[in-house]
Structure 1
Amino acid sequence: MRGVGGPLLCISDLLNDVGEDNSGAPVPPTDAADVHHPASDLPELFTEKFEQLNMALKGADHSWTTLTLKLCSALETANKLVDSTNSGVTLFTEKVAALEQTVKRRDSAIADAQAIQGSLRF
Structure 2
Amino acid sequence: MAMRGVGGPLLCIGDLLSDVGEDGSGCDNLSRCGDIKTPSFSESCPSFRPSDLPKLFQENYEKLNEALAGTDHSWTALTLELCSAMQTANKLVDSANCNAGKLSENVQTLQEIINRRDSNIAAAKAIQKLPEWKRSPDSENHLQI
TM over 0.5: yes
1:85 — aligned with what? 96
**Bigger radius of gyration:** 2
How much has 1:24 moved relative to structure 2?
A: 6.5
Aligned residues: 119
Q: Distance in 1 between matches of 2:40 and 2:90?
A: 9
How much has 1:47 moved relative to structure 2?
A: 0.8
Change (3 A) 1:38 1:20: same
Q: Distance in 2 between matches of 1:95 and 1:65?
A: 45
2:105 — aligned with what? 94
More helix by share: 1
Query: After superposition, what is the alpha-carbon deviation per residue over 1:18-51, rounded to whole angstroms, capped at 9, x for unaligned?
Result: 2322367334233551347332211110111011
Tell me whether 110-119 or 33-42 shows the greater mean CA deviation. Answer: 33-42
Higher relative contact order (CA 8 A, sep 6+): 1
Task: Give the counterpart letter for 2:115 in structure 1.
Answer: K
How much has 1:102 moved relative to structure 2?
A: 0.8
Q: Structure 2 stretches of 5 or more lacking a match?
A: 134-145
TM-score calculated relative to the size of structure 1: 0.80
TM-score calculated relative to the size of structure 2: 0.69
Q: Percent identity?
A: 50
